[in-house]
Structure 1
Amino acid sequence: MKLFTTKQIAAIDKFTIENEPIADIDLMERASLQMTNWVVQQFSTEERLLFFAGPGNNGGDALAMARQLADLDYQCEVYLLDFGKPLKGSPAINYKRLEEQGKVKLTKLRSENDFPEVSDTDVLIDGLFGSGLSRPLEGLPAQLVQHINQLLNVVVAVDIPSGLMGESNAGNKLENIIRADFTLTLQFPKISFLFAENEQYVGQWEVLPIGLHPDGISETPSPYSFADVEDITARLPLRTKFDHKGTFGHALLIAGSYGKMGAAVLASKACLRAGAGLLTTHVPHMGFPIIQTAVPEAMASIDQHDSMFTSFPDLAPYAAIGVGPGLGLKRNSCRALCDLCDQAKVPMVIDADALNILAENEAWLEKLPEGSVLTPHPGEFRRLVGETTDSYDAIQKQMAFAKKYNCVVVLKGAHTSVAAPDGTLCWNSTGNPGMGTAGSGDALTGIILGLLAQGMSSVDAALVGVYLHGLAGDMAAKKHSEFALMAGDIIEHLGEAFLKIQ
């Protein structure tokens, strides 16, 4: 699914109005009806619905919803911010329709004294300001938002919580943003919904289709997208009857050190579960019996050092290389990683301590083979690119880094983002909080390595790997719960995840 900035969404709205064609008031009615249907499914007619509307199209949506729900026997009241100017366009039409209907109590808010009394069971619908907002709220709107946020009632935001910007919220007044329990976003999620710091405002969000024109969507360029199963399935490699283990690639995994052999085991199992035909895992001498016993399907390459990574085998046989899980930060390991970057001619998957070593030796980033995949968590990412002001700033630096070093950057999180060298960025749509557990990142490294070894492009391997990792985690959580989820459970559900997307 393509994602757009709020300005682009407004342009697609305009395109739809002009080319469907459809009147603005009718498009507003269509959008409002989708939200009305959602409310009907969630709340009973015994609950009073209080609509807080602003003067723009977001308020117009709220006014239309109030009328539609009143016709369905809901108890609706509308509280309209009054700035002393008459409503215009579709909001004015919807306000007149409410007056003519005569079923909804209408109140204009001119000061704090006009704020309504609210009972505990009332549901509050936020339609104050929409995605066109360009500056922080202040004055009476800010007072109203703060008043609503102090209440314990369920809050449902129309399209976007009032006060929240659609992209960057750097410089915004965070105390003047609605804290919604649910956000009913129209056609596309806003980019800011995908950032951890905004969860407290957005709550649970749901995308409601409103029939924006497909040509307007396809013709509007955007570097941003949100992964869906159709796109992921299209990227999967096809297997034919006469394929064999040589066809599916030979991967080299360099992982493990004294006390951290579990990382090598988890990444090895994940690599094989992801479909690599052959896997050689390079481990310190002391790790040989562990890897041979725990992962008999993998071949073992033994480092000359007993407890750390200091060397690697001839790289000629390998289609892809993974390095980092459980590696350690010893000086000899740093030298060996530098040599590896010099000699590698195939894409590498770089994670964990390998990333930390690169962060301390920035010049080595220029040595990375084309199409390498870096998989940092937020802390490792900051070490690579420096501090960021917010998540929007982080993805801009992520995209710039991917372009500069001609690599793929997988920034792990609730909605893991994958930045490609061509300037595009895709957020993942699978996964759950239970995956925030030891070894989960090692499993992801193994999955991407296994897909790369099969000949997938670096971008495809990263996107499919992240999606499968999250999907397997979702399946594992259903069986074990988010609380009890372990990295090994993710690996054990990879087969089920493949079956679901094929």
Structure 2
Amino acid sequence: MQNLLTSEQMRSTDAFTIKNKGITSIALMESASIAFAKAFMEEVKDKTTAIAVLSGKGNNGADGLAIARLLKDAGYQQVSVYLILFSSRETEEYRINLNLLKSSGLKPIDINSPGQLSTLKDEVIIDAVLGSGLNKALEGSYRELAELVNALNRKVIAVDVPTGFPTEGIINEDNVYLKADLVICFQRPKINFFFPESAAALTRFQVVEIGLDEEFIQGLDSPYQLIDASAITDLIKPRKSFSHKGTYGHALIVAGQEDTMGAALLASRACLHGGAGLTTVSIPESGLTALNAALPEVMYISRNKLAELKKFSAVAVGPGLGTADESVNLLQHLLQFKVPLIIDADALNILAKYQELLQQVTEGSVLTPHMKEFDHLFGTHSSWWERLQTARKKAVEIKCVIILKNQYTFTIDQNGKVTINSTGNPAMAQGGMGDTLTGLVSSFLAQHYTAHQAAYIACYLHGKAGDELAIERVSVTASQLGDQIPVTLKGLIK
């Protein structure tokens, strides 16, 4: 997994790399600019494209100046550089790169007020005005500049971070950001790129390597980590000779009502296809015909026979369960066995309504709320940053793993560490996806992974299967995803 860094930690990494690799800050900046330029040239292939580079007077602006020079040298015929002179302060790196730019034959244009850019005709704008570390909202001329550029409705590509956007902390939706179609960021994505509010500042991002010391980065103390494919392939255990169904555990899924049987079937399908040796589902008897027709491999147990849970290596409860008294009593019954549970959907809503039950949840359980369910459980939040900090606190308090569902789902372990999932796409925005995820978590927990491992493996596999299906589909159903799971899983095993 990759450590994600705060802006302060990234500055420390720059300093460490410069000191220990024996390079200058200008050399590191050149490396970053070369990496940006290569990615930019893949994005904007036509070298007759008119490009405007907006450069502030700090190190982000210095990057912009170097990038402009590199693009000119690469044959881009219409590169214009605009110096944003709203501040009296400038860095040494900015001065050096400004001289190098002028030596290359490019003549920058001074911009002393935003209105000077109102007639900008360039097709692509490179935003190198302000970089990371900004700890206040844009105001004055910088705010006017962002509003003006946004109104031009041009393709904007930002250097490392969009102007005005905080790299960590609360993203204020009332603030103004220079909106980027693409952010080409250095070495690591910013923590705040993974929150829904980031849509106010960027559409997508791409990470480029710039030569920072990876060992130093991975050694830093960060509560935020990004799941990558290597972390999953290193963890997933291939099936061995002479193993049998008992080797891969027995999962129980308590789900469904007469009118919500689909949720139980979707969760069971995912659990089965995720590789659990045995899958049993407890549903109303009226659902038996549907179960036997759709999933003959899945066993059935009636609700009134849930008198012993020790034979199950994973127990999930909630999808389609409803919140009537019968369901409340059922959840109370399961909690009394003091075994870890995977708690989803209606079971979460019951916990939110009866907070005393939340205190009875067994250590090592997995809670899988989406945003509304989370706020019902733990109180209303005004931002995703606050919501995530609450999740970290609550995971420690109740000693459970929390899967906070999002486009980039956050898995928080019992120590408050956050694992951010990198897979998934908008084609998966369909009903039943949460039920499928619950089934997958159950499957991996049954196969004797830890609760935290089961949670983030399931999140990654769930999103990866959706990504593979979305290559040829506008939308992906939960049933399609369930059937894709074993194919995707096979591709992740070494």
- 2:85 is aligned to 82
Return the alpha-carbon distance in structure 2 between the equivalents of residues 376 and 249 of structure 1.
Answer: 25
Q: Which piece of structure 1 moves more, 401-410 or 359-368?
A: 359-368
- 1:91 is aligned to 94
- 1:115 is aligned to 117
- 2:335 is aligned to 341
TM-superposed CA distance for 1:500, in Å, is: 1.5
Return the alpha-carbon distance in structure 1 between the equivalents of residues 91 and 461 of structure 2.
Answer: 48
The amino acid across from 2:203 in the alignment is: G
The amino acid across from 1:303 in the alignment is: R
- 2:67 is aligned to 65
Change (3 A) 1:88 1:474: closer
Query: Structure 1 stretches (4+) deviating beyond 4 angstroms?
Result: 170-173
Change (3 A) 1:171 1:412: closer
- 1:377 is aligned to 370
Q: Which piece of structure 1 moves more, 62-71 or 85-94?
A: 85-94
TM-superposed CA distance for 1:172, in Å, is: 7.1
TM-superposed CA distance for 1:316, in Å, is: 2.3
Return the alpha-carbon distance in structure 2 between the equivalents of residues 173 and 440 of structure 1.
Answer: 32
TM-superposed CA distance for 1:215, in Å, is: 2.9
Deviations 1:93-132 (A, max 9, x none): 0001112222x2311111234326322x521010000002
- 2:199 is aligned to 199
Return the alpha-carbon distance in structure 1 between the equivalents of residues 346 and 245 of structure 2.
Answer: 30
TM-superposed CA distance for 1:292, in Å, is: 2.4
Deviations 1:189-236 (A, max 9, x none): 001111111123121100011010123212211010111011011221
TM-score, length basis structure 1: 0.95
- 1:307 is aligned to none
Query: Is residue 297 of structure 1 aligned with residue 288 of structure 2?
Result: no
Query: Is residue 425 of structure 1 aligned with residue 418 of structure 2?
Result: yes
Percent identity (aligned): 37
Return the alpha-carbon distance in structure 1 between the equivalents of residues 348 and 426 of structure 2.
Answer: 23
Return the alpha-carbon distance in structure 2 between the equivalents of residues 194 and 146 of structure 1.
Answer: 24
Work out whether residues 53 and 128 of structure 2, in 8 Å CA contact, stay in contact via their aligned partners in 1.
yes
- 1:24 is aligned to 25
TM-score, length basis structure 2: 0.96
Deviations 1:1-52 (A, max 9, x none): 1101111111111111111121000100000011111222222221111111
**3-state DSSP class of the match of 1:206?**
strand
Match of 1:354 among 347, 369, 376: 347
Return the alpha-carbon distance in structure 2 between the equivalents of residues 315 and 33 of structure 1.
Answer: 59
Change (3 A) 1:113 1:218: closer
Deviations 1:431-475 (A, max 9, x none): 111212111111111111011011110011001011111111112
Flag structure 1 segments of 5+ consecutive residues without an equivalent: 305-310
Return the alpha-carbon distance in structure 1 between the equivalents of residues 461 and 484 of structure 2.
Answer: 9
After superposition, residues 399-438 of structure 1 pair within 5 angstroms as 399-438=392-431
- 2:474 is aligned to 482
Change (3 A) 1:67 1:379: same
The amino acid across from 1:185 in the alignment is: C
* Equivalent residues, number: 490
Query: Is residue 496 of structure 1 aligned with residue 487 of structure 2?
Result: yes
The amino acid across from 1:329 in the alignment is: T
Return the alpha-carbon distance in structure 2 between the equivalents of residues 282 and 465 of structure 1.
Answer: 22
Return the alpha-carbon distance in structure 2 between the equivalents of residues 378 and 105 of structure 1.
Answer: 50
- 1:308 is aligned to none
Query: Is residue 160 of structure 1 aligned with residue 154 of structure 2?
Result: no
TM-superposed CA distance for 1:237, in Å, is: 2.8
Deviations 1:150-182 (A, max 9, x none): 01211010000000000123457522x111111
Return the alpha-carbon distance in structure 2 between the equivalents of residues 35 and 491 of structure 1.
Answer: 38
**3-state DSSP class of the match of 2:245?**
coil
The amino acid across from 2:165 in the alignment is: L
Give the RMSD, CA atoms, in angstroms. 1.5
- 2:144 is aligned to 143
After superposition, residues 179-198 of structure 1 pair within 5 angstroms as 179-198=179-198
Flag structure 2 segments of 5+ consecutive residues without an equivalent: none
Return the alpha-carbon distance in structure 2 between the equivalents of residues 334 and 355 of structure 1.
Answer: 11
Return the alpha-carbon distance in structure 2 between the equivalents of residues 452 and 50 of structure 1.
Answer: 53
Q: Which piece of structure 1 moves more, 59-68 or 161-170?
A: 161-170
Work out whether residues 374 and 410 of structure 1, in 8 Å CA contact, stay in contact via their aligned partners in 2.
yes
- 1:327 is aligned to 321
Work out whether residues 292 and 300 of structure 1, in 8 Å CA contact, stay in contact via their aligned partners in 2.
no
The amino acid across from 1:190 in the alignment is: K
- 2:54 is aligned to 52
- 1:208 is aligned to 208
Return the alpha-carbon distance in structure 1 between the equivalents of residues 173 and 319 of structure 2.
Answer: 39
Change (3 A) 1:380 1:173: closer
Work out whether residues 250 and 453 of structure 1, in 8 Å CA contact, stay in contact via their aligned partners in 2.
yes
After superposition, residues 190-339 of structure 1 pair within 5 angstroms as 190-304=190-304, 312-339=306-333
**3-state DSSP class of the match of 1:165?**
coil
The amino acid across from 2:72 in the alignment is: A
Return the alpha-carbon distance in structure 2 between the equivalents of residues 369 and 84 of structure 1.
Answer: 56
Change (3 A) 1:153 1:107: same
**3-state DSSP class of the match of 2:336?**
helix
TM-superposed CA distance for 1:78, in Å, is: 1.1
Return the alpha-carbon distance in structure 2 between the equivalents of residues 174 and 71 of structure 1.
Answer: 37
